[in-house]
């Protein structure tokens, strides 16, 4: 085991164009203590933030694969997942909302579609990760998305050809090493101060999930899967964080908030937009021929949100082949009452029951959280009032 007194040896592997910002140069990638890197570059030139996203996303999908035994994917932006998912078949409604109706989708393609479509506005320009070898069908899905790069354990020859051609040959393709094992102790430098800690090796599994502490005791198989998905996703999400999951995919991630109830509101808001994308009015929006995929996605989201400014209205309305129908009073709120059986995970305890009230507005029925707050009895009581089942894991998952 490496101790705080041990001198860590960094070996430069290659240089980067710059660090987080263009004025932060020089910047480099180093291996630690003589070990090899956990990836190799197959195409493109990764940047500092690309690699932060790739390394966190890679850990996430590997852990999901190990825990749920399903192909997994993640879509990262600025060191937090916009979405994560495992390979679960899509309903016809989701196929329409995701614009993949009639397509033959492999498990890997399904996983990435679900991860990317959790919050496609935030996933714009993402760094993706896949737990399994990338096949041609998945590469064709990635080809249509605005994305910076991908890390996966391997690539079929046709898939690699498609991805190497993306972005004029500049798309970043990394091959992750499934056999790589990171040092037990990790270090971080801030303002000339080095901090060390044991890596977060906590494992979230079906066997270790535990029994609910609420009156509601039953956890369906789907709920167990979604709770594990949400908890592992938060393990690699900037804290404070709360995540909503349904049908094998994240549908809302509230990351990096100082207040836990704000995390819940943010995640719930994203879950609401995700569900409203399946509304018949949204599915029926007609775009002009040649409208880019990203513009179609943003057009639907702006239509759902309904807070278009006069400055952008002319541009926004110019996307449509025919006028978008007006929302009826209370129509969106009524539709949202159909969102049910959602699973929620929180990276730390709830200090007040207000987060439970917020979760109830977006159909949450199952909750995974560490417990340990003086307000635990009040939080349990709130869950009982809403008929929710809540598990105390005893494991906090702060990530910074």
Stretch 366-370: mean pLDDT: 97
Least confident of 91-100, 261-270, 308-317, 379-388: 308-317
Cβ–Cβ < 8 Å for 42, 54: no
- Residue 34: the pLDDT is 77
User: Any catalytic annotation for residue 240?
Assistant: yes
Stretch 25-49: mean pLDDT: 93
Burial of residue 259 (number of CB atoms within 10 Å: 0-12, 13-18, 19+)? middle
Regarding whether 225 and 114 lie in a shared domain, the answer is: no
pLDDT over 90 at 197, yes or no: yes
The residues, any chain, with a CB within 8 Å of residue 332's CB and separated by 6 or more, are 276, 279, 304, 306
Stretch 260-283: mean pLDDT: 96
Regarding whether 373 and 245 lie in a shared domain, the answer is: yes
Residue 6 domain flag: no
Closest C-alpha to 25, from 17, 14, 37, 35: 17
Query: What CATH number is attached to the domain comprising 304?
Result: 1.10.287.440
Band the pLDDT of 180: cuts 50, 70, 90.
very high
Cβ–Cβ < 8 Å for 204, 363: no
209 or 268, which is more confident?
268
Band the pLDDT of 2: cuts 50, 70, 90.
very low
Regarding whether 386 and 240 lie in a shared domain, the answer is: yes
DSSP string, 209-240: ---BSSS-----HHHHHHHHHHHHHHHTSPSS
Domain span including residue 42: 38-176
User: Any catalytic annotation for residue 78?
Assistant: yes
Residue 87 domain flag: yes
Share of the chain above pLDDT 90, in %: 86
Regarding whether 378 and 313 lie in a shared domain, the answer is: no
pLDDT over 70 at 20, yes or no: yes
**Alpha carbon distance, N-terminus to C-terminus of the chain:** 23
Band the pLDDT of 6: cuts 50, 70, 90.
low
Domain count, the chain: 3
**DSSP assigned state of 325:** P
- Residue 3: the pLDDT is 53
Strand order in the sheet with 249-255: 39-43, 172-176, 147-152, 126-130, 72-77, 80-86, 249-255, 241-246, 342-346, 364-369, 389-392
Q: pTM for this one?
A: 0.95
Residue 188 domain flag: no
Q: Given CA atoms 351, 357, 359, 363 in this order, what sign does their dihedral have?
A: positive
Interatomic CA distance for residues 288 and 134, integer angstroms: 33
User: How many C-beta neighbours within 10 Å does residue 323 have?
Assistant: 8
Band the pLDDT of 353: cuts 50, 70, 90.
very high
Regarding whether 215 and 251 lie in a shared domain, the answer is: yes
Question: Catalytic: which of 43, 56, 77, 166?
Answer: 77
The mean predicted confidence, pLDDT, of the chain is 94
Q: What is the per-residue pLDDT across 63-93, written as a single tens digit (0 to 9) for each? A: 999 999 999 999 999 999 999 999 999 999 9
Regarding whether 121 and 70 lie in a shared domain, the answer is: yes
Regarding whether 204 and 97 lie in a shared domain, the answer is: no
Strand positions, DSSP E, 123-220: 126-130, 147-152, 172-176, 185-190, 193-198
pLDDT over 50 at 56, yes or no: yes
Closest C-alpha to 78, from 119, 37, 20: 20
Question: Per DSSP, what are the bridge partners of residue 390?
Answer: 367
- Residue 329: the pLDDT is 93
The residues, any chain, with a CB within 8 Å of residue 111's CB and separated by 6 or more, are 70, 71, 72, 73, 85, 86, 87, 130, 131
Interatomic CA distance for residues 173 and 289, integer angstroms: 31
Closest C-alpha to 320, from 362, 366, 281, 273: 281
Q: What is the per-residue pLDDT across 122-178, written as a single tens digit (0 to 9) for each? A: 999 999 999 999 999 999 999 999 999 999 999 999 999 999 999 999 999 999 999
pLDDT over 90 at 213, yes or no: yes
Distances (CA, A) of 183 to 34, 48, 173, 178, 189: 11, 21, 25, 15, 16
Regarding whether 344 and 228 lie in a shared domain, the answer is: yes
Residue 48 domain flag: yes
pLDDT over 80 at 27, yes or no: yes
Question: Catalytic: which of 78, 103, 143, 164?
Answer: 78
Stretch 295-321: mean pLDDT: 83
pLDDT over 50 at 1, yes or no: no
Interatomic CA distance for residues 229 and 223, integer angstroms: 10
pLDDT over 90 at 28, yes or no: yes
Question: Catalytic: which of 240, 270, 281, 399?
Answer: 240
Distances (CA, A) of 294 to 8, 68, 169, 319: 44, 31, 20, 11
Regarding whether 361 and 221 lie in a shared domain, the answer is: yes
């Amino acid at each position: 085991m490496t101790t705080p007194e041990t001198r860590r040896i960094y070996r430069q592997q290659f240089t980067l164009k710059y660090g987080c910002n263009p004025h932060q140069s020089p910047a480099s990638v180093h291996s630690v203590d003589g070990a090899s890197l956990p990836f190799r570059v197959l195409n493109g030139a990764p940047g500092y933030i690309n690699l932060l996203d790739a390394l966190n996303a890679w850990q996430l999908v590997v852990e999901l694969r190990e825990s749920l035994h399903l192909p997994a994917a993640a879509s990262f932006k600025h060191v937090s997942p916009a979405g994560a998912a495992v390979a679960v078949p899509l309903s016809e409604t989701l196929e329409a909302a995701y614009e993949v109706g009639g397509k033959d989708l492999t498990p890997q393609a399904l996983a990435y579609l679900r991860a990317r479509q959790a919050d496609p506005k935030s996933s714009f320009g993402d760094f993706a990760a896949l737990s399994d070898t990338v096949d041609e069908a998945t590469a064709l899905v990635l080809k249509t998305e605005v994305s910076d790069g991908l890390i996966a354990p391997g690539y079929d020859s046709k898939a690699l050809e498609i991805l190497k051609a993306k972005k004029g040959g500049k798309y970043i393709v990394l091959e992750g090493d499934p056999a790589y094992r990171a040092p037990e102790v990790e270090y971080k430098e801030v303002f000339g101060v080095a901090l060390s800690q044991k890596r977060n090796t906590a494992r979230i599994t079906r066997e270790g999930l535990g029994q609910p502490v609420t009156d509601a005791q039953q956890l369906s198989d789907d709920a167990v899967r979604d709770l594990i998905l949400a908890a592992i996703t938060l393990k690699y999400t900037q804290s404070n964080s709360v995540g909503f999951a349904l049908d094998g995919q994240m549908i809302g991630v509230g990351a990096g908030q100082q207040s836990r109830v704000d995390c819940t509101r943010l995640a719930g808001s994203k879950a609401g937009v995700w569900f409203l994308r399946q509304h018949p009015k949204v599915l029926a929006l007609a775009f002009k021929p040649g409208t880019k995929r990203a513009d179609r996605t943003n057009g639907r989201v702006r239509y759902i949100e309904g807070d278009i400014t006069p400055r952008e209205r002319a541009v926004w309305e110019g996307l449509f082949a025919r006028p978008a129908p007006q929302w009826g009073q209370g129509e969106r709120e009524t539709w949202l009452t159909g969102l049910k059986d959602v699973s929620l995970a929180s990276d730390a305890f709830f200090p007040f029951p207000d987060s439970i009230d917020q979760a109830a507005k977006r159909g949450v029925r199952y909750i995974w959280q560490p417990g340990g707050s003086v307000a635990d009895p009040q939080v349990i009581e709130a869950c009982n009032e809403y008929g929710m089942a809540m598990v105390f894991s005893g494991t906090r998952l702060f990530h910074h």
